[in-house]
Structure 1
Amino acid sequence: MGLFDFARNIGKKIFGSDDDDASEKLQAHIEDDNPGIEGLKVVVEDGVATIKGEAKSASAYEKAVLMAGNALGVEEVRADDLVAPAQTIEVTYYEVAKGDSLWKIAEKFYGNGSKYTGIFEENREVIKDPDLIFPGQKIRIPMDQ
């Protein structure tokens, strides 16, 4: 599962399946904790979220994609018209599994569970509470920790 593919039946409930204003609600969700996107425009249709705008950084781009994709009802994010600078660090995307905690994920990727705070900080817009992650949720793992 790549950065742009998500589990449609898992995620944060932001809009209903028959919501006429799903695009507006998802856009407002991203804007609430805007990771650094200017001119944001979101359209949701048949489980596909299309994001347009200009990201201030590659990390902002990735976070906006994850914020949209981790919404219940979204199975794909298209961001061809979301302009961003190139990523300058190595980043891995991880899909949270049942029984995972940020501590366990940090142990897996960094060999040290106490580095979970770095994962949380890098995903602050995607994860609201480090104790509340869910199976199927996708997060960014910067490999320079």
Structure 2
Amino acid sequence: MGLLDFLKDTGKDLFGGKSGNEAETIKSEIEKALGDNVSNLGVRFDNGTVTLQGQAKSVAAKEKAALIAGNVKGVASVHDDGLTVAGAPAATATAGTATASRYYTIKSGDTLSKIAKEQYGDANQYKKIFEANREVIGDPDKIYPGQQIRIPA
């Protein structure tokens, strides 16, 4: 994947206006959501840019870690090249592979059904999108403009 860009002023407000502990807060959020699907996780936060390191059990776990980090208010971009996929060659752990997802930025007026209709031609496929983003979207009816999600292949 490499570098993902996000809208810095949207997302989950984890920092509460306080600074100085952003990396640890983001790391905790990723570990809470993904559990043992990530290991040896290292998170660096520098002026709105998050850098991830460690190991993910799957490409999906790597993608989710990047989205969890990026969908935080105050984060403008995420570098995830340092987050490798266990047992996979480097080329397999990056976007553009058959198993990698596409990313979609929610726009005003979007619903998961509308996105599913656009992406798959079937609005009922919204459940597939929700399941692929369960760690990022707590409720399929509560998405917001600027939020980035995965569109599974």
- Return the TM-score normalized by structure 2: 0.86
d(CA) in 1 for partners of 2:118, 2:15: 33
Give the Å deviation of 1:127: 0.9
- The CA deviation string for residues 87-134 of structure 1, in whole angstroms up to 9 with x for no partner, is 542521100000101011011111111110010001111111111111
**Paired position in structure 2 for 1:60:** 61
Match of 1:6?
6
Give 1:25-36 correspondences, 5 Å limit.
Answer: 25-34=25-34, 36=37
More helix by share: 2
For the residues of structure 2 that align with 1:125 and 1:18, how far apart are their CA atoms?
Answer: 24
**Rounded Cα–Cα distance in structure 2 between residues aligned with 1:31 and 1:21:** 16
Deviation at residue 28 of structure 1 after TM alignment:
0.8
**Aligned AA for 1:48?**
T
> How many pairs are equivalent?
142
The answer to whether 1:91 aligns with 2:101 is yes
CA shift for structure 1 position 18: 3.9
3-state DSSP of counterpart to 2:5: coil
Contact 1:98 1:135 in 2 (8 A): yes
1:49 paired residue number: 50
Asked whether the 8 Å contact 1:107–1:113 carries over to 2, the reply is yes
Q: Any idea what SS the aligned residue of 1:64 has?
A: helix
Number of the residue aligned with 1:125: 135
Runs of 5+ unmatched residues, structure 2: none
Partner of 1:100: 110
1:73 corresponding residue in structure 2: 74
SS at match of 1:34: helix
Q: What's the Cα RMSD here?
A: 1.6
**Deviation >4 Å, runs of 4+:** none
Q: Distance in 1 between matches of 2:41 and 2:144?
A: 27
C-alpha distance in 1 between matches for 2:56 and 2:100:
18
Aligned-partner Cα distance in 1 for 2:129–2:79? 24
Kindly indicate whether the alpha-carbon contact (under 8 Å) linking 2:3 and 2:79 is maintained by their aligned counterparts in 1. Answer: no
1:124 partner letter: R
Instruction: Out of 36-45 and 83-92, give the one that drifted further.
Output: 83-92
* Cα distance in 2 for residues equivalent to 1:7 and 1:101: 19
Residue type of the partner of 1:23?
A: A
Q: TM-score normalised to the size of structure 1?
A: 0.91
3-state DSSP of counterpart to 1:25: helix
Percent identity, please: 44
